[in-house]
Amino acid sequence: MSFSIRLTPEEKSLAESYAKLHSLSLGEAFKKALFEQIEEEYDIAIAKDAYEEYVRGGKRSRPISELWQELDL
């Protein structure tokens, strides 16, 4: 699959600099950035769901100082 995107000269220059810095082709740089962003957003969504489940389950966090006291640290 291939696609094209329109970039301003400044955007193109920035993208080319990024690709060169990481020894990637321009296409590889865009692909890498796209999938890193997708993965990041997926991880955030999973973490949010897990936290909501934690809260719904009646769980609560507590200060680390309480744990240290409990463990005589």
DSSP codes, 18-65: HHHHTT--HHHHHHHHHHHHHHHHHHHHHHHHHHHHHHHTT-----HH
What pLDDT digit, counting tens, does each position of 41-58 carry? Answer: 999 999 999 999 999 999
Give me the percent of the chain exceeding a pLDDT of 70: 100
Whether the pLDDT of residue 68 is over 90: the answer is: yes
Q: Which residue has the higher pLDDT, 1 or 43?
A: 43
Report the pLDDT value the prediction gives residue 65, as an integer from 0 to 100: 94
Instruction: Measure CA 31 to chain center.
Output: 15
Model confidence, pTM: 0.67
> Average pLDDT, whole number, for the chain?
94
